[in-house]
Amino acid sequence: MRGDTNLDGRVSIADLVFCANHVLGKVEGTKACDLNDDNIINAYDVVEMRKIICSFIFIVFQ
Ligand SMILES: [Ca+2]
Ligand SMILES: [Ca+2]
């Protein structure tokens, strides 16, 4: 599932934290963290992750 970076079957704020922790070198990320498909996991992917999470929040509160 796109955006499910910690592979727990759903997209949540935990995925954003997981992806950010990978960029900070705290955890080993997964291929799912590469949200912009450039084969590098970095801050740009964290920004993409944030956009996905924010769009879900927007849909929920519409
Ligand atoms: Ca997840
Ligand atoms: Ca990337």
Reported as a single tens digit per residue, the pLDDT across 1-57 is 888 988 899 988 999 999 999 999 999 988 899 999 999 999 999 999 999 888 877
- Kindly identify the ligand whose nearest atom is closest to the C-alpha of 33: 2
- Report residue 58 as tokens: 């927007």
| 39 vs 50: CA distance, rounded Å | 19
- Kindly identify the ligand whose nearest atom is closest to the C-alpha of 22: 2
- Kindly identify the ligand whose nearest atom is closest to the C-alpha of 2: 1
Cα 47 to averaged position of ligand 1 atoms, centre (Å):
16
Global pTM reads 0.80
Rounded to the nearest 10 degrees, the angle between the axes of helix 43-60 and helix 13-23 is 170
Q: Tokens 């796109």 sit at which residue?
A: 2
Cα 5 to averaged position of ligand 2 atoms, centre (Å):
12
